[in-house]
Structure 1
Amino acid sequence: MIEYRIETDTAGMRLDKLLRKRLPTVPVSHLFKMIRTKKVRVNGKRAQPEQLLAEGDVLTIRGDEKTLRGEDRPKVDRPPPPVDPSQLVILREDDWLMAVNKPSGMAVHTGSGITGGTLVDYVRAYLGPKAVRNDFTASPAHRLDRETSGVILVAKRRPAMVHFTEVFTHGLSKKRYLTLVKGKMTKESGVIDLPLSEHQQTAESKARRGVNMQDALTRWKVVKQSGDAALLSCAIETGRTHQIRRHLAAIGHPVLGDKKYGDFAYNRDVQARWGLKRLFLHAERIEFPHPDGSGKVAVEAALPPELRDVLKRAALLP
């Protein structure tokens, strides 16, 4: 845990701005997630991104100090390779946001062993000088696993990021995913209401208070069924790390191509039969209230060609 006492020179600064200044290696979207999940507190109380800090306030940040400060990141002797912004697939863009179709294999942020070619790099290269506005740098408003493809939202302005923090905190968005899973489903649809352990809980926290379980709910519906695999449409009502993958594995229907929670022997089999070389999980659609107050917006990303080819070989598409 990190603790700061607000001094005279930082009094009056917004909380989100101070966090970016003190923790420059932590992705902006993760800082906002920490605020909305109450890992950042001011004087022991829940904080807000736009909150102005006063002299004497005590700011506490839950988490591993070395990780938060970036001290555990590998040293890079050379700069990351340049990126070609023309490769960015933009589904929607306006003055507030971008909706990008992220390919499988592209990390959203830098991290352990990832030094360049991230979604952040592509977005900021595309925007150029316009990537920074009023001391805020355009950043993804939520996350997708590196191997998951599909729609991801990018906030281009600080008010947009604050808005999306509220949207994802209060469940005001609707996300829909397509996934191919092992086995034959016994029902046409179902709900998985199964708490999941906090993915980023530190060893110190586990030792002190045990494993922190978080509510998690996934709704699934069969789109197409074959003899030994099913194409599902999934909607999540909570945003836990690897939620769909962990939930489906827990009910005996792991996502195909999943190298962490999947059936490894079956993955090898479907790679040989259907040519699946990646995780079959795609963020197909997201619906959300626009930050300018104009109403709800829906953005969709078509299933990538490599996944459509797998479905054809599996006789799940004509």
Structure 2
Amino acid sequence: MIEFRIEEDSAGMRLDKFLRKKLANVPTSHLFKMIRVKKVRVNGKRAQPEQPLAAGDTISIRGTQEQLLAPSAPEERKPPPPPAVDPSELDILLEDDWLMAVNKPSGMAVHTGSGITGGTLVDYVRAYLGPKAVRNDFTASPAHRLDRETSGVILVAKRRPAMVHFTDLFTNGHPRKRYLTLVKGKMPRDSGVINLPLAEHQQTAESKARRGVNMQDAITRWKVIRQSSEAALLSCVIETGRTHQIRRHLVAIGHPVAGDKKYGDFAFNRDVRARWGLKRLFLHAEFIEFPHPAHQGKVAVEAELPPELKDVLKRAALDPS
């Protein structure tokens, strides 16, 4: 019989994933069979492969160390190093042992993806943390996303329990988030609510063919900060976290976000670029409030509007100051 005790930084990991790490020389199919025939127990009880583990849990496995524990693995070929980035360029708004809040600039992708191979927020965070980026098999990672062209506050989990906390929060709780955006035209009133379901952004063609377009509830609350005859500076609070929610909602009511190359008014974008110098999407994640993953106390983080967007507001005579 061998036993493992779950430490705090492994809390939230699935049982099957934990076993694959600890018993690397045991075939995955055999691990599942061991769980099925009750050779693996958690706190003395029958276990399920997908069950999340909690700090203090004890995993008991029938078998000897010689049978189950992996020998030293041969040295593997190391992957090529990521593109060099200067971590001093990272604008850190808040940091403790559990998390970081970073002010992401416009133009920086959060993760690698189609056509993006480096210079991401992930690269900067891990370069800044160095060896501390990895803790008990968990690597510090962003807890949510911002569009590449959107600037502002983004949270990074430095420990696995923090990521578990944020994943649940963004999936079910929706932390309070506030954005600043510049939109085309004169708003009909000082504030309003857009309650308009949006099509699932990443639904596959197979899924659409099988069950039709999946519509998701989406609510955006907006408030006018400054207004002219041509444009309005808005504060937006989202109660749901759909992809491109603010951009899609505002264009749906006839007020596209300035500088939006995907959903925006292209003639308006050309005009504000020429007259006001706007060269990017005018959308900034200004504020986020959330319960801390360790003590559950409220934490509020704010990111000041970037200088290039302040300049646009001055030229448009919409500077709120």
* TM-score, length of structure 2 as denominator length: 0.76
Paired residue secondary structure (1:185): coil
CA pair 172-194 structure 1, distance change in 2 beyond 3 A: closer
CA pair 48-246 structure 1, distance change in 2 beyond 3 A: farther
| Equivalent residue number for residue 7 of structure 2 | none
Deviation at 1:169, TM superposition (A): 2.1
CA pair 208-136 structure 1, distance change in 2 beyond 3 A: same
* TM-score, length of structure 1 as denominator length: 0.77
Q: CA RMSD in A?
A: 2.6
| Equivalent residue number for residue 297 of structure 1 | 299
| Equivalent residue number for residue 284 of structure 1 | 286
| Equivalent residue number for residue 27 of structure 2 | none
Query: Where in structure 2 are the equivalents of 1:53-68 lying within 5 Å?
Result: none
Q: How far apart, CA to CA, are the structure 1 residues paired with 2:14 and 2:86?
A: 34
Of residues 73, 84, 89, the one that matches 1:87 is 89
Q: How far apart, CA to CA, are the structure 2 residues paired with 1:93 and 1:242?
A: 27
In structure 2, what residue type is equivalent to 1:126?
Y
In structure 2, what residue type is equivalent to 1:18?
K
Q: How far apart, CA to CA, are the structure 2 residues paired with 1:128 and 1:187?
A: 50
| Equivalent residue number for residue 99 of structure 2 | 97
CA pair 16-264 structure 1, distance change in 2 beyond 3 A: farther
Of residues 183, 186, 195, the one that matches 1:184 is 186
| Equivalent residue number for residue 147 of structure 1 | 149
| Equivalent residue number for residue 228 of structure 1 | 230
Contact 2:174/2:241, CA 8 A, preserved across alignment: no
CA pair 287-228 structure 1, distance change in 2 beyond 3 A: same
| Equivalent residue number for residue 110 of structure 1 | 112
- Report the identity percentage: 81
Contact 1:193/1:218, CA 8 A, preserved across alignment: yes
CA pair 306-133 structure 1, distance change in 2 beyond 3 A: same
Q: How far apart, CA to CA, are the structure 2 residues paired with 1:185 and 1:226?
A: 9
CA pair 16-245 structure 1, distance change in 2 beyond 3 A: farther
Q: How far apart, CA to CA, are the structure 1 residues paired with 2:16 and 2:312?
A: 45
Q: How far apart, CA to CA, are the structure 2 residues paired with 1:237 and 1:130?
A: 34
Contact 2:174/2:239, CA 8 A, preserved across alignment: no
CA shift digits 1:172-213 (9 cap, x unpaired): 510000000000001100000000011111111111111111
Contact 1:220/1:232, CA 8 A, preserved across alignment: yes
1:268 aligns with 2:267: no
CA pair 215-119 structure 1, distance change in 2 beyond 3 A: same
CA pair 84-16 structure 1, distance change in 2 beyond 3 A: farther
Paired residue secondary structure (2:173): coil
| Equivalent residue number for residue 251 of structure 1 | 253
Q: How far apart, CA to CA, are the structure 1 residues paired with 2:297 and 2:101?
A: 16
In structure 1, what residue type is equivalent to 2:13?
R
Q: How far apart, CA to CA, are the structure 1 residues paired with 2:129 and 2:309?
A: 30
The alignment of Structure 1 onto Structure 2 pairs a total of residues equal to: 261
In structure 2, what residue type is equivalent to 1:241?
T
Paired residue secondary structure (1:192): strand
**Highest Rg: 1 or 2?**
2
Contact 1:102/1:149, CA 8 A, preserved across alignment: yes
Gaps of 5+ in 1: 1-12, 23-46, 54-76
Contact 1:171/1:238, CA 8 A, preserved across alignment: no
Q: How far apart, CA to CA, are the structure 2 residues paired with 1:308 and 1:210?
A: 43
Of residues 101, 122, 129, the one that matches 1:127 is 129
**Which is worse superposed, 121-130 or 158-167?**
158-167
In structure 1, what residue type is equivalent to 2:116?
I
In structure 2, what residue type is equivalent to 1:168?
F
CA pair 50-249 structure 1, distance change in 2 beyond 3 A: farther
